[in-house]
Structure 1
Amino acid sequence: MSRVKAVLDGVLRAICVTLFALLVVLVTWQVFTRLVLDNPNVWTEEAAKNVFIWLSLIGISIATGEKADVVMDFLVRKLPVAGQRVTESLAYLATIAFVLVVMVWGGWHQASMAWHQTHPVLPLTAGQLYLAVPVAGVLMGLYLLYHLAKTLTPSWAGIPDIDPEEEVEV
């Protein structure tokens, strides 16, 4: 399961780097055409906004995968290990429920309702641009399920994972 996560992490990071580079190019071109050519391109501003949305949502998914999100656990850390495990599991389940209902189901519903709305500037429909929300929801859901599974395994309490391919010294 860790290898699948590592591959997903690598793919998402590559996508984020590509989107960030595209964002830099779009904004640079927008500034150049506005200030130097005195004839700004309308489509670059809209494209940059949408690239930024995709970049942000995929970046949030990566942060969720790395457990880099904001956590206030000073009270939870005072609980015994079993209480910490239960509390963390409940937090993951609540977040998974939110992600599934709001981001995946609600985002898909919004994207499907706007699927045929043409964008005034870009050659995409509004629904295609709104797909960022359910896609990020699915990615976050996968990462949250991964963390929930890790929480429910013995390694969570400090017992190290044993990799079957790793050599064991005797």
Structure 2
Amino acid sequence: MKPLKFLGYLCALLLAVQVVVVLWGVITRYALGNQAGWTEELAGYLLIWISLMGAAYAVGTRSHIAISLFPDGLPPARRRRVNRIIDGLILCFAVAVMMVGGSYYVWLTLSLGQRAPSLQLPVGLVYLAVPVAGLFVSFFQLKDLIYGRD
């Protein structure tokens, strides 16, 4: 399965799980009079994963927010050069901040043994979304740098 397709399915699955979790929280709050405490926490953690995986998906489909006024006004050869520079900067950010910094943060929270209050999950699993998203962004940016944009 292609990485972009996998990422799309992963985002859809995470969103479906989040809908079920939030719906269960609403049902337990209003029908049973006492909300299940874990639903709000899990919904927040799923939102983190959905946001970061969705951002990586947007990079892969080139549907992310971009200021294209400057590059679009350039001749084609210069536009390609500017786009390659932009792709390189995004790649540097994804590797340095998301993959390296995110991995360090995951390691730090796992080594400190931080756990989520309700779910008792290691908080590092939540933060793992940052380096995973960075890996996808790096892959898509490398592909664009090597093969060019579609």
Shorter-chain TM-score category?
Answer: over 0.9
- What does the per-residue CA deviation read over 1:111-163, in whole Å, with 9 as the maximum and x for residues that have no partner? 110012122211310111110001001111111111222328xxx6xxxxxxx
Alignment of 1:8-47 (within 5 A): 8-47=3-42
Structure 1 residues without counterparts, runs of 5 or longer: 1-5, 157-170
Q: Conserved in 2, the CA contact under 8 Å of 1:88 and 1:151? A: no
Greater relative contact order, per chain length (Cα 8 Å cut-off, separation 6+): 2
Greater Rg by CA: 1
Which one of the candidate residues 89, 92, 96 is aligned to 1:94? 89
Q: Is residue 139 from structure 1 mapped to residue 143 from structure 2 by the alignment?
A: no
Tell me the amino acid that sits aligned with residue 67 of structure 2: M
Structure 2 residues without counterparts, runs of 5 or longer: none
Which one of the candidate residues 56, 61, 83 is aligned to 1:61? 56
Q: Which moved more, 1:117-126 or 1:31-40?
A: 117-126
Tell me the amino acid that sits aligned with residue 120 of structure 2: P
Instruction: Provide the rounded CA distance (Å) in 1 between the counterparts of 2:73 and 2:147.
Output: 20
- What does the per-residue CA deviation read over 1:14-44, in whole Å, with 9 as the maximum and x for residues that have no partner? 1111111100000000011111111111111
Which one of the candidate residues 110, 126, 131 is aligned to 1:129? 126
Q: Is residue 80 from structure 1 mapped to residue 75 from structure 2 by the alignment?
A: yes
- What does the per-residue CA deviation read over 1:76-97, in whole Å, with 9 as the maximum and x for residues that have no partner? 1222222111101110111111
Tell me the amino acid that sits aligned with residue 91 of structure 1: I
TM-superposed deviation, 1:59? 0.9
Instruction: Provide the rounded CA distance (Å) in 2 between the counterparts of 1:10 and 1:72.
Output: 26
The structure in which a higher percent of residues are helix is: 2
C-alpha RMSD of the superposition: 1.5
Instruction: Provide the rounded CA distance (Å) in 1 between the counterparts of 2:44 and 2:11.
Output: 15
Instruction: Provide the rounded CA distance (Å) in 2 between the counterparts of 1:16 and 1:151.
Output: 26
TM-score by length of 2: 0.92
Q: Secondary structure at the match of 1:75?
A: helix
TM-score by length of 1: 0.82
Q: Secondary structure at the match of 2:65?
A: coil
Tell me the amino acid that sits aligned with residue 64 of structure 1: V
Q: Conserved in 2, the CA contact under 8 Å of 1:100 and 1:141? A: yes
